[in-house]
Structure 1
Amino acid sequence: MLPDTLKNYLASHIARDLDAAMQCYAADAEVTDDGKTYYGPDEIRSWLSSATSEYSYTAELIATRQLDPQTYVASHHLEGNFPGGSADLDFTFTLKNNLITRLVIT
C-alpha cells in the first residue's frame, strides 16, 4: 500500500493539478525522467507542466511495492498519443518527512 503522500501525488498528477502535486514535493526534491534530472520546485513544476500538456494519455496503476522504509515503486500502464502509443513505467519515489525527495521514472 502506498503512503497518503504518494496517493495524493498520483491523483494530482493524473488530474493535472500542478498546485496539489507540487505540495507533495520537498523543497530540495529532484525528478529524473527520460534521462534528464530536474532539481527544485521551479524545474519540477516546469517538467510537470510539460509532461501533462505534451501528450494526451491515460494512466492505470497496475502494481505497487515498497523497497525499503523510504522507497516505493508505483508501476503504471500508459496509453496515449505519444510515440509507441503505450508504455509501462515505474515511478520510484523516495520519501522523507512525508514529502517526495526523489522521483525516478523508468
Structure 2
Amino acid sequence: MELPQLVAQFVETQNTYDSETYVTCFTESAIVHDEGRTHTGKEEIREWIEEANEKYRSVIKPLQYEESGLNGVLTAEVSGTFPGSPIVLKFHLGLKGGLIDSLKVTG
C-alpha cells in the first residue's frame, strides 16, 4: 500500500520502536488521545509512546488510508502483547504544516 511520506514514517517508527524519530512526525503542540488519556506536546507524546512500546510491543500493518483536506484516517491491524491481539484500529490524523497535529486512536 502506498502511503504519504509522513504516514509511512509514522508507521515505520512505530514498528521499529523509534520513539525519538516518532515524535518528529508531530507538531510541537500536537495532541494525542489514546486509551482514554490525552497527551499534549512532543515530550508527553514521547513519554506515552515509550511506555506503550514497552508495555504492548505494538506493530502496525496498514490496511487502508484515506485523506481529505487536513484530515487522514489510517485503518490498520495492530498486533502486540495485549489481550485480543491482533485488532483493527483507526488512527485519526489531524495534519498541519506537513506534520501530525492531532492523533486519536479508536477501535
Tell me the TM-score normalised to structure 2 length. Answer: 0.89
The percentage of counterpart residues that share the same residue type is 28
Corresponding letter in the other structure for 1:73: V
User: Counterparts in 2 of 1:18-97, with a 5 A limit?
Assistant: 18-66=19-67, 68-97=68-97
SS of residue in 2 equivalent to 1:85:
coil
Cα deviation, residue 4, structure 1: 1.3
- Measure how far apart 1:83 and its partner are: 1.4
Q: Give the Cα–Cα distance (whole angstroms) in 2 for the partners of residues 57 and 101 of structure 1.
A: 22
Deviations 1:16-75 (A, max 9, x none): 111111111100000000111100111101111011110234331111111x21111111
Contact 1:2–1:72 (Cα < 8 Å) also in 2: no
Q: Secondary structure at the match of 2:28?
A: strand
Q: Which runs of 5+ in 2 are unaligned?
A: none
**Structure 1 spans left out of the alignment, 5+ residues:** none
Q: Distance in 1 between matches of 2:60 and 2:86?
A: 10
Contact 1:62/1:76 (8 A) holds in 2: yes
